[in-house]
């Protein structure tokens, strides 16, 4: 199946159905990948995560949180992984529950690169160049200064490409419909794109055609492994999180899009998308397939409309699907709330997003008229129902 941009009408709505590769989505609202540190120390999804994702199954598509394709790629404690049989089994429980509730899931594949610590993974982080993250990191032993990563050899590069492909195959074994390769937010693939973290002088460094090479090789390898219509790529042009400084944003992303334009992957996903920015407009012009856009919303609150106005602006600017993060976290029945104009829950405490447990995770209330497929939380942290 081809992956032409989704279109339904002159004025598309987030509530319109859409095609994405082999999938038929009931709406254009995508739950963005949100790392919430609820896995075991070994990266295995937990029963609490089963409840959390099944609660949000009315999203057109759920992109599950970042999972590492190998051990050295781990960023923080209690994040998920997809490189051992136990990971596959844990995720299978999640995807089975979401499918039973009528939903569909992709899994995001993320390698932290220099955003990692031996206290967390037991391994020295690897990166394009030996440039340390100038920040402290949360580890099981407390906050620690990020170490200088080991520069990846050409063999490391080849091995990591293979690890991403194997992880993608494991994701399908775990019941996911596809995977999203994470090349955003200052992690490994983004580090290859950015001048301040990639100081290589070989075929993977220097001019933009070289700095996009690793990302393109990973995406092509994953597409060969599981089929291009089951693969997405996330980028965040101009984003400086994790001390990234791209240096030439307006050049690097057109080059990356050109390297992938013939890949026929399912979608390109832009994080922190601004329809007024030239780089967004250029990507939309150049990208031949489906474009997912994640709008920039206030950090301190969810808009009263749940992000609907920002979503409509992106649709009008050419986005095909809209990814929302915190609105889905705080509102398991977000699609119903937006469709009916009901008030939305606010995130109660940002600290609770990362500390584990049901509080601030599965206990956000759903409306009494919610979709009947949305389960409540387990008894230990059971979700209230608004009446």
- Containing structural domain, residue 26: 18-386
Residue 335: pLDDT band (50, 70, 90) is: very high
Query: 313 CB contacts (<8 Å, ≥6 apart)?
Result: 275, 295
pLDDT score of 377 more than 50: no
Radius of gyration of the chain (CA): 20
Quote the number of domains for the chain. 1
Q: Is residue 189 part of a domain?
A: yes
Q: Is residue 60 part of a domain?
A: yes
Q: Is residue 218 part of a domain?
A: yes
pLDDT score of 1 more than 60: no
pLDDT score of 385 more than 80: no
pLDDT score of 268 more than 70: yes
Q: Is residue 2 part of a domain?
A: no
- Give per-residue pLDDT as tens, 226-248: 999 999 999 999 999 999 999 99
CATH for 199:
3.20.20.70
**Mean pLDDT across the chain, nearest whole number?**
93
Q: Is residue 10 part of a domain?
A: no
pLDDT score of 378 more than 60: no
pLDDT score of 6 more than 50: no
- Give per-residue pLDDT as tens, 69-101: 999 999 999 999 999 999 999 999 999 999 999
Residue 8: pLDDT band (50, 70, 90) is: very low
Rounded Cα distance, 354 and 188, in Å: 22
Query: 355 CB contacts (<8 Å, ≥6 apart)?
Result: 37
Q: Is residue 12 part of a domain?
A: no
Question: Looking at residue 374, what is its pLDDT?
Answer: 53
Question: Looking at residue 265, what is its pLDDT?
Answer: 98
Q: Using a pLDDT cut of 70, give the percent of the chain over it.
A: 92
How many beta carbons lie within 10 A of that of residue 154, not counting itself?
Answer: 10
**Helix, strand counts (H, E) of the chain:** 12, 17
Question: Looking at residue 167, what is its pLDDT?
Answer: 99
pTM of the model: 0.93
Q: Is residue 4 part of a domain?
A: no
| Mean pLDDT to the nearest integer, 206-235 | 98
Q: Is residue 149 part of a domain?
A: yes
């Amino acid at each position: 199946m081809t992956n032409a941009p989704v279109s339904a009408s002159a004025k598309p709505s987030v509530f319109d159905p859409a095609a994405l590769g082999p999938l038929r989505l009931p709406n254009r609202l995508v739950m963005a990948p949100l790392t919430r540190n609820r896995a075991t120390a070994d990266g295995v999804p937990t029963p609490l995560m089963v409840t959390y994702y099944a609660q949000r199954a009315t999203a057109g598509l759920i992109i599950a949180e970042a999972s590492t394709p190998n051990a050295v790629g781990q960023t923080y404690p209690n994040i998920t992984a997809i490189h051992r049989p136990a990971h596959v089994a844990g995720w299978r429980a999640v995807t089975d529950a979401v499918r039973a509730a009528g939903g569909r899931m992709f899994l995001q594949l993320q390698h932290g690169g220099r955003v990692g610590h031996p206290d967390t993974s037991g391994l020295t982080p690897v990166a394009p160049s030996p440039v340390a993250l100038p920040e402290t990191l949360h580890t099981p032993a407390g906050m620690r200064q990020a170490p200088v990563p080991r520069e990846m050899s050409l063999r490391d590069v080849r091995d990591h490409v293979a690890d991403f492909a194997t992880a993608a195959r494991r994701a399908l074994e775990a019941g996911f419909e596809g995977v999203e390769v994470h090349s955003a937010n200052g992690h490994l693939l983004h580090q290859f794109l950015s001048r301040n973290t990639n100081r290589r002088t070989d075929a993977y460094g220097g001019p933009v055609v070289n700095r996009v090479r690793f990302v393109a090789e990973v995406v092509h390898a994953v597409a060969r492994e599981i089929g291009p219509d089951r693969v997405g790529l996330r980028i965040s042009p101009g984003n400086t999180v994790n001390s990234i400084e791209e240096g030439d944003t307006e050049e690097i992303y057109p080059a990356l899009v050109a390297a992938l334009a013939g890949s026929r992957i399912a979608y390109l996903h832009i994080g922190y998308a601004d329809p007024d920015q030239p780089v967004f407009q250029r990507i939309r012009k150049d990208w031949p397939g489906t474009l997912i856009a994640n709008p920039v919303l206030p950090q301190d609150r969810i808009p009263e409309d749940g992000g609907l106005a920002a979503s409509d602006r992106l649709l009008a600017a050419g986005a095909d699907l809209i990814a929302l993060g915190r609105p889905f976290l705080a509102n398991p029945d977000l699609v119903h709330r937006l469709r009916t104009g009901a008030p939305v829950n606010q995130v109660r405490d940002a600290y609770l997003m990362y500390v584990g447990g049901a509080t601030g995770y599965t206990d956000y209330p759903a409306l009494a008229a919610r979709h009947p497929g949305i389960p409540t939380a387990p008894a230990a942290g059971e979700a209230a129902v608004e009446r």
